[in-house]
A and B are shown apart, each in its own frame.
Chain A
Amino acid sequence: MSADPRAALAARIGREYAESWGTQTEARAGAARRQRALEALVSQGLPSSRDENWKYANLRPLERARFAAPRLEPSRDALIATLPPAIAGYARYTFIDGVRLEDAGGDSKTASPGLLNSLASESGRRALADLDSIADAGPDTRFALLNEAFAPDGALIRVPASAAGVARIELVFVSVAAAQAGASHPRVLVRLEPGARLDLIERHLSSGSGSGFVNSAVQVALEAGATLNHYRVQQLGARAVWFDTLSAELASRATYRAYCASLGAQSARSTLQVRLGGEGAQLALHAVSVGDRQQVLDGYARVEHAAPATRTEETFRGIAAGRARVAFNGKIVVRAGAHKTDSSQSLRGLLAGPEAEIDVRPQLEIHTDDVRCSHGATAGKLDEAMLFYLLTRGLEPDAAQRLLKWAFLEDVVARIEIVELRRQIEASLAGQMHEADALQELL
């Protein structure tokens, strides 16, 4: 056995970096950025299960994964056929193992032109130069460093203050290569200038073996009065591994609504860090995770109220069936001076199997008076009183349980205002619950 597994991992990351990026020529700004991320990563190391906030995550796949991007050329025609139907009015951009595929369908020609830049392009790299590195976001965002060091491409979205109406963009990240061949590092940078509005769909899917190692990093900056509705859907293949890091900074009166559905992957860990840095900034975070078999779906959300009159509404609904483990840890920090903060958390988990595990944990850290912070957390089985009520109306026990599970998830899913997307997610949830046929009537 080697002396320190973390040091060994860091050394391997350094070697893989040297092999994949050490020989390539890249614009100086980009190269320096990568190099900084790599150095920070090698010195800090990736999280281990001994780290606070990481005890529910499955970190074992790191031992086998290859972190550099794969060099394989996927068959693009076969790939496009596997994509979900386009959502009307959204410009779709597709990325294969983190690399942009040109003209992959969707309303790219008609909707919101010119807002997205590929980070691999010259203009993308120039635009990147004046953005902060995610490296500064703290110890729980170390996977974003890994992304920053290795990602070959990415989506840079900037909506100017002058843009009229709501911009609509859909990003589809498809993981093709198996984990041994190389990792996929989906990368998204979003900046909304004052008052700008964006509806963004972000999907993570698998094609082929469905056993990829996917490490996404998303960075969101909302300037004063900007509004982002962000729909995130993780439906990777049954043997895929997903690490995900999102950090967001909100200026005054900015509104960020994030809707997250985590359904696929063998093991998924999503880390969200949101800072409400300007007065009156608002966050709505609604997440749903449905796990079966031996899936491990872990979520961690840290929200920092750093300015007065900021608001957070957080909802989590998770179901664990089979031998799955589903966890969500929601931490809210209220800084000194962030008076009139208003936060609410409703975190609920449902055990749908005798060997399943659910962990939901709300945490509050308050450094000022005059705040209103409420939280509720439950983990357990279906409500007996509800079940009995449905049985007295003649429903079969199976049907009644199905209905209640469905209703439980609807607390989150019903909030998705894009009807086509909501229906797609509902159909996937029904599939995940092995009840597509029985639930057909509800869809």
Chain B
Amino acid sequence: MLEISDLHVSVAGTAVLKGLTLQVPRGEVHAVMGPNGSGKSTLAYVLAGRPGYEITRGTVSYEGRDLLALTPEERARLGVFLGFQYPVEIPGVNNVYLLKAALNAMRKARGQSEVDAFEFLALVRDKMKLMRMEDSFLSRGVNEGFSGGEKKRNEILQMLVLEPRLAILDETDSGLDIDALKIVADGVNSMRAADRSFVLVTHYQRLLEHVIPDRVHVLVRGRIARSGDRTLAHELERRGYDWLLGEAA
């Protein structure tokens, strides 16, 4: 599904990713963990195509395509979804309008007709129930005045509606209380499927108590310092990141 090979990325002239290599096979959930400043969010943004990141070396292949050659909207339409660490507030744009425009963009890319208005509302209401969101949310501005937890739930709601093939969730667990964390985890788990992969970028392992990863990778100073199964997350929880920082130096 996703193959990242020897990826080097600079931001404003400073090297952040320094030879990152990672494979995420179809249907798997991979966690990318690491201390602050290790390059986790940079990885998430580069995969989604955010401007301002200079790729100095390496390749990223997504379902056999050169992902880095595609625009952000092309990536989205091919099924790449980024759940933002800090979802952007867009006053004046209704949530329901954005959801519909996004879903229709995906459908158009797949050669489908625009979604029927009634079917669309039924679909969204169904997913909102899962995320325990109230109806009034639909007419509010995108993330406008949302609490941190509401914003994260909104990201997951968008994912549920858009049904991506590769979901990159950047610190979706940060700032959530335990109830919200469980709602978000339920949303992610409901989406696990044989043809869908996840990259969970996270600082702490607590999300991984609820969403069991197939693989855990530790990103330190711009490279994968260690990979393992879910027990690696427990080890990190116990020992912290310092021992790996020592190794990577």
Q: CB within 8 Å of B: which residues of A?
A: 384-386, 388-397, 399-400, 403-404, 406-411, 414, 442
Q: In the complex the two chains form, is A396's CB within 8 Å of B88's CB?
A: no
A195 CB to closest chain B CB (Å) equals 34
Q: Given A384, A396, A410, A414, which contacts B51 in the complex, CB threshold below 8 Å?
A: A384
Q: In the complex the two chains form, is A396's CB within 8 Å of B73's CB?
A: yes
**Bound-complex Cα distance A384 to B51 (A):** 9
**Bound-complex Cα distance A391 to B98 (A):** 11
With A385-B88, A386-B90 as contacts: A395 and B105 at CB distance below 8 Å: yes
Q: Nearest residue in A to B144 (C-beta to C-beta)?
A: A407
14 contacts between A and B (CB under 8 A): A386-B88, A389-B90, A390-B90, A390-B98, A391-B71, A391-B73, A392-B73, A392-B81, A393-B158, A394-B76, A394-B102, A394-B105, A394-B162, A396-B105
Q: Nearest residue in B to A393 (C-beta to C-beta)?
A: B102
Q: In the complex the two chains form, is B90's CB within 8 Å of A392's CB?
A: no
With A384-B51, A399-B101, A403-B93 as contacts: A391 and B76 at CB distance below 8 Å: yes
Contact partners of A442 in chain B: CB under 8 A: 97
Q: How many residues of B contact A (CB 8 A)?
A: 30
Q: In the complex the two chains form, is A388's CB within 8 Å of B105's CB?
A: no
Contact partners of B162 in chain A: CB under 8 A: 393-394
Closest 5 CB pairs of A and B: A407-B92, A394-B105, A410-B92, A394-B76, A393-B102
With A393-B162, A397-B73, A399-B101 as contacts: A388 and B50 at CB distance below 8 Å: yes
B111 CB to closest chain A CB (Å) equals 14
Contact partners of A388 in chain B: CB under 8 A: 50-51, 72, 88
Q: Given B75, B92, B102, which contacts A408 in the complex, CB threshold below 8 Å?
A: B92
Q: Nearest residue in A to B52 (C-beta to C-beta)?
A: A384
Q: In the complex the two chains form, is B105's CB within 8 Å of A411's CB?
A: no
Q: Nearest residue in B to A385 (C-beta to C-beta)?
A: B88
**Bound-complex Cα distance A389 to B102 (A):** 11
What 0/1 pattern do residues 84 to 104 of B give for CB contact below 8 A with A?
A: 100110111100011001100
Q: Nearest residue in A to B106 (C-beta to C-beta)?
A: A394
Contact partners of A411 in chain B: CB under 8 A: 91-92
Contact partners of A408 in chain B: CB under 8 A: 92
Q: Nearest residue in A to B143 (C-beta to C-beta)?
A: A389
Q: Nearest residue in A to B90 (C-beta to C-beta)?
A: A386
**Bound-complex Cα distance A400 to B76 (A):** 14
With A388-B51, A389-B88, A399-B101 as contacts: A394 and B93 at CB distance below 8 Å: no
Contact partners of A385 in chain B: CB under 8 A: 88
Q: Given A393, A396, A397, which contacts B98 in the complex, CB threshold below 8 Å?
A: A393
Interface status of B82 (Cβ within 8 A of chain A): yes
Q: Nearest residue in B to A405 (C-beta to C-beta)?
A: B92
Q: In the complex the two chains form, is B48's CB within 8 Å of A392's CB?
A: yes
Q: In the complex the two chains form, is B109's CB within 8 Å of A394's CB?
A: yes
